[in-house]
Amino acid sequence: MDTQFTMTQGFYKQRLIDAGLKVLIPAEDERAEVHRIIKKELCVGKFKDSSREYYIDVITKLAEQGAEGVILGCTEVGLLITQDDSLIPVFDTTVIHAAAAVRFLVDKDFT
């Protein structure tokens, strides 16, 4: 799935709206650059300070628009951005999914 457009589709967005939350997404040009960084840098193991700064700038703009948290919805983004990079809470879906998988396995009765 094309991550540039995933932000505008319903996988996370509609579920959050259904839960009563207002969803903000970066501008189209920002989404394009976020996508480029993922595909051309992070997916090939490049972690540039300039890209980290770009993501921080996008997150800051969203916070200025009223965002109270940011979802890192692509597995690679958590390699570049951490909670220390953001003034608002960061939700890394890779970490969230891994923790849920561990809880699922721990709660399973394998006997």
pTM: 0.85
Tens-place pLDDT, residues 48-64? 999 999 999 999 999 99
Tens-place pLDDT, residues 60-91? 999 999 999 999 999 999 999 999 999 999 99
The pair of structure tokens assigned to 17 is 């709206």
CA-wise closest residue to 71 among 30, 23, 33: 23
Sorted by where each begins, the domain ranges of the chain are 3-107
Q: Report the CATH fold assignment for 3-107.
A: Rossmann fold (3.40.50)
User: How would you class 60 by CB atoms within 10 Å of its CB: exposed for 0-12, middle for 13-18, buried for 19 or more?
Assistant: middle
- pLDDT of 1 reads 44
Angle, CA 74 vertex, CA 71 and CA 76 arms, to 5°: 120
